[in-house]
Amino acid sequence: MTNTIRLFVAAALPPALKKHLSEAVGHFTDPVIRVLPEENLHLTLYFIGNVPPSELPRIKQSIQQVAQNHAPFTLELEQTEPGPKPKSPRLIWARFAQSTPFENLSRDLTNALAPQPPARQKAIAHITLARFRKDKPAPKGLPNIAPDTPVSLAVDTIGLWQSEITSPHPRYSVLETYSLSQNQ
């Protein structure tokens, strides 16, 4: 079997936002729900997948080029809710309001990094907070929780992250960071 590494592009979260999201997911108490550890919370922009280590220089260069063409932006949290499909959820996520800068950055990363860019669905800015156990039916009647006060996430840096599959949760590490630095 070939030696590969599992990679994705994401934005790190500040400690205050991680704390807020950990408190919000505490409202979901069904035993079918497996809450992710705070250190695993991040905003995914593009999942690359398993690649040979020899691809790292090309991937890093592509991310750098995309980052240079995008300005920093801010996302506004709409609510914490079951998703991605309300009628058949498989996780709990913190969903942010629609953001054209987020959608453009996600699209450009996909176009730069995907071997064959897929027919594009609209990117939804979100942070996965918990997953449902696959061996049990999804819980019903879960709440949607809007923040009491505005909650935002400033995105001015993105990173190339590595995921190592471990139990009970994967372990993530940031390999390199890139500043969003569009000059206009």
CB-based burial label for 150 (10 Å; 0-12, 13-18, 19+)? exposed
CA distance 32 to 139: 7
Task: Render pLDDT for 93-109 as a digit per residue (tens, 0 to 9).
Answer: 999 999 999 999 999 99
| pLDDT average, residue stretch 131-148 | 88
Model's pTM, two decimal places? 0.91
In this structure, are residues 7 and 48 in contact, taking their beta carbons and an 8 Å threshold? yes
Q: For the chain, give every domain's residue range.
A: 23-179
Task: Give the model's confidence band at 184: pLDDT under 50 very low, under 70 low, under 90 confident, else very high.
Answer: very low
Cα–Cα distance for residue pair 180/7, rounded to 1 Å:
19
What pLDDT does 183 receive? 61
Q: How many CB atoms lie within 10 A of CB 104?
A: 16
Of the pLDDT bands very low, low, confident and very high (cuts 50, 70, 90), residue 1 is very low
Which CATH architecture is the domain 23-179 placed in?
Alpha-Beta Complex (3.90)
